[in-house]
A and B are shown apart, each in its own frame.
Chain A
């Protein structure tokens, strides 16, 4: 039985700028719970975020963190992971950051399968910039940049992740923090890329997708006779939205090698560990043989 840590070790004293009642609080709490439950200590994890309200999360935790630039936490996190595969790497960003500007990196992560857990704070709006529509806003959403209603279909992260080859796809709801924490823990434990899309009301700017709106629609896949290893079933459920929204693990396939598992150069050390060694003993003779090809 793994020793459970006290989640308070991840608490920080920084002044939180989220609005009262923001769903990000639930994500923050759930992440702390998940890390504590898995006995991952503050120095053993690195949380990478993008730009947005939710991306300030690492600022409010005591853990290694890197608040990067809009849309780019996934490649930064991938670089961290490839340089130091021992580190538990978690990406936290919003729906715009991940599915809009970061869309390409999102799709690549799905097919690349690095051992990274991504938590997307999906509030279907752009919060920090005060109320524009986002990639996951439902078609017809009336916002400051769509006064006549948005024209595009909402981005479907579940379907795109499934099509992209992701090996762990889950959806949670900020109104159910325990379930959210369980899914985050499961995602971190999963070897490979894990996506947890968190439905999370923006209490300030999104008047449509409220806690009540979600409450009326969400249901748990675990409560039904659902097989998360069935890709076709996952595909069908991934398209449920208007009346019913499935929560839980939509799709999971275990036992596949991660990206890092398949990088030969990582077999006997990592770029970080090798550099520490080289700084101590550079062994310049090891490169002489490389001159041969030029003669």
Chain B
């Protein structure tokens, strides 16, 4: 009895053993073979030592969540076995170097096969000792019956820059391990992998990369940022672009400079981006107010991680929602988007800039470690550059400024609250802006009437923006017994949980919020009231979305399911948690 193309492989080892790099290469080989892949990493905030692992979920249909079950464990350290023992499915297998002293009894009790292989010897014999994890990957491919060619092609690409010798060595090692595993264990392993040659070509990409591509396509040509896990790869991806794209990248001295430089660049008329995580966003708060007060477009990607303070730097969480919505002294308009899938990250990349320039305010794109760093196979068509719109709204071109009557005022009162915005540099539009309260000309002004009008002008923009914010989207059958209410990356495990429930004879759907501020209150209230039982599923302690819904739409969810241990939800956890998710919203 065997299952084909429906399994999860986990590679566990110490930090510094190359778990991530070899895992990513392995995942790519499956993607090239036409399988759907979802790959997640789990690593600690250290360079060497400490356990970390790479998990690759394989399927013939798209997967959006991590799986709690492992069918094949490649253990590069003895402790990896103990650590993941409980997640291994019945009929699953563990491959490890035969030199390890592993207590096989608990494994055998659970019906788990023990495939001890001379991985280190194979590595030494055919290449080099350090290629032990390549050997492990080769063995994994062999055990599942997956054709070796795909692995070979990835090895060639990955090791090309290290020289032909490295390529050849790794290929030899992998192949030797492949053959040995095939012979010894291949036939009776219940989980098989087969390529799907008819499948379309797919990209293996993560949320940060998708967002960066979207920003680039959306006209972003300036990025100032301070490195912070897990946002850094957005800046790094854009920094390695060929200079022909003209993206100016500045790694700044701190996050305050990062936000301020982006604001300056935007003030001068560029589409400017800064990226950070919660701690860095804290430092940007005052600058956010500057942008809001002086009506300067700004896009901030806030890729959340476990907090508070330094927290869990390499792990995931969704606990900055209320912070981001309220950050900054006083009141000013901002927009907060929360993409829930990698495709939505791409779209947020360019849509955020359109919104920022249309409403002349900060736009925060909230992501998280899971969405930003996990790799997923995406149909090439999902990254559709033809669908990208660069819409600068009320931003004036120099030709348009030329045609203006005299006396341009940057903060001209307007019905919509948005004033036509002249990019500095034209003689007919010379103006100064002030972070102090100001009048239409931009000059400092504390008078009562002006203050009222200016405050209303700015906040009116928020009312307008609300009209174009997307209402929550329903996934699954209407009128289901239970509705999982979620935002951000939790959408992935929620949709799989709903699918599982529906397939098992139950009734569930998912209400996903992606435009979080200004929350489109009326459609939200309508959708929520149409649900039979609502459970807010979030990766934070205080159910921040549930609180937000109560505040804006006056709606109290029926229950909450929270997870704040830094690991992403699995669909199974959600299904199990629904039994008990009657907890009220915590304070």
| Chain A residues at the B interface, C-beta cutoff of 8 Å | 12, 14, 41-44, 46-48, 51, 56, 58-59, 61-69, 72, 75-84, 86-87, 104-105, 108, 263-272, 274-276, 278-279, 282, 284-288, 290-291, 294-295
Contact = CB atoms under 8 A, between A and B. Distances in A.
B224 interface: yes
Contacts of A42: 427, 430
Given A79-B272, A83-B270, A272-B423, A72 B217 contact: no
Contacts of B246: 265-266, 268-271, 274
Contacts of A284: 217, 385-386, 388
Interface of B: 31-32, 201-205, 209, 213, 216-217, 219, 221-222, 224, 241, 243-250, 252-254, 256-258, 260-272, 286-287, 289-290, 294, 380, 383, 385-386, 388, 390, 392, 397-398, 423-427, 429-436, 442-444
Given A64-B432, A291-B383, A77 B253 contact: no
B261 A78 contact: yes
A263 B245 CA distance: 13
Contact of B264 (A65, A80, A275, A288): A80
B248 to A, nearest CB: 5
7 contacts: A56-B444, A68-B260, A80-B265, A82-B264, A86-B425, A105-B257, A266-B248
Contacts of B249: 265
A291 to B, nearest CB: 6
Given A43-B425, A108-B257, 14 more contacts: A47-B432, A59-B432, A75-B260, A77-B264, A78-B250, A79-B224, A84-B268, A264-B243, A265-B245, A269-B246, A279-B392, A290-B213, A295-B201, A295-B203
A234 to B, nearest CB: 25
B385 A287 contact: yes
Nearest to B261: A79
Contacts of B263: 68, 76, 79
Contacts of A282: 217, 219, 388, 390
Given A67-B436, A290-B213, A83 B253 contact: no
B493 to A, nearest CB: 24
A83 B241 CA distance: 18
Nearest to B399: A276
B287 A67 contact: no
B437 to A, nearest CB: 11
Contacts of A64: 424-425, 430-432
A276 B426 CA distance: 14
Given A64-B430, A87-B425, A272-B268, A14 B219 contact: no
Of the listed residues A44, A62, A272, A284, the one surrounded by the most CB atoms of chain B closer than 10 A to its CB is A272
A86 B398 CA distance: 15
Contacts of A66: 264, 267, 294, 432-433
A166 to B, nearest CB: 16
Given A14-B443, A271-B248, A291-B203, A278 B219 contact: yes
A41 B253 CA distance: 32
Contacts of A104: 253-254, 257
A225 B91 CA distance: 89
A265 B248 contact: yes
A82 B261 contact: yes
A58 B430 CA distance: 12
A294 B379 CA distance: 11
A68 B432 contact: no
Given A64-B424, A68-B435, A72-B287, A82 B221 contact: no
A68 B390 contact: no
Contacts of A65: 431-433, 442
Given A59-B443, A104-B253, A291-B203, A48 B388 contact: no
Contact of A59 (B258, B286, B426, B434): B434
A46 B432 CA distance: 9
Contacts of B216: 287, 290
Contacts, number: 212
A48 B264 contact: yes
Which 7 A-B pairs rank lowest in CB-CB distance, beginning with the nearest?
A79-B264, A65-B432, A271-B270, A284-B385, A79-B261, A294-B203, A83-B265
A151 B40 CA distance: 54
A82 B251 CA distance: 13
Nearest to A285: B385
A94 to B, nearest CB: 15
Contacts of B32: 295
Contacts of B31: 295
Nearest to A260: B248
B248 A275 contact: no
A87 B290 CA distance: 21
Nearest to B256: A72
A285 B386 CA distance: 8
B260 A76 contact: yes
Given A46-B424, A79-B260, A80-B267, A68 B290 contact: yes
B583 to A, nearest CB: 41
Contacts of A279: 219, 390, 392, 397
A111 B27 CA distance: 44
Of the listed residues B244, B257, B290, the one surrounded by the most CB atoms of chain A closer than 10 A to its CB is B257
B424 A275 contact: no
Nearest to B243: A264
A112 to B, nearest CB: 9
B256 A272 contact: no
B219 A275 contact: yes
A275 B219 CA distance: 6
Given A78-B264, A265-B249, A279-B219, A69 B385 contact: no
Contacts of A270: 246, 248, 270
A274 B380 CA distance: 27
A266 B383 CA distance: 27
Nearest to B31: A295
Contacts of A59: 432, 434, 443-444
Nearest to B383: A291
B289 to A, nearest CB: 8
Contacts of B442: 65
A69 B263 CA distance: 12
A294 B432 contact: no
A278 B390 CA distance: 8
B434 to A, nearest CB: 4
Contacts of A84: 268-270, 424-425
A288 to B, nearest CB: 7
A43 B429 CA distance: 7
Contacts of B286: 69
A58 B201 CA distance: 56
B385 A67 contact: no
A82 B250 contact: yes
A23 B386 CA distance: 57
B456 to A, nearest CB: 22
A79 B262 contact: yes
B161 to A, nearest CB: 13
Nearest to B375: A294
Given A275-B219, A294-B209, A43 B260 contact: no
Of the listed residues B245, B252, B260, the one surrounded by the most CB atoms of chain A closer than 10 A to its CB is B260
Contacts of B427: 41-43
A271 B254 contact: no
B272 A75 contact: no
A69 B290 contact: yes
A274 B265 CA distance: 13
A11 B386 CA distance: 49
A274 B444 CA distance: 33
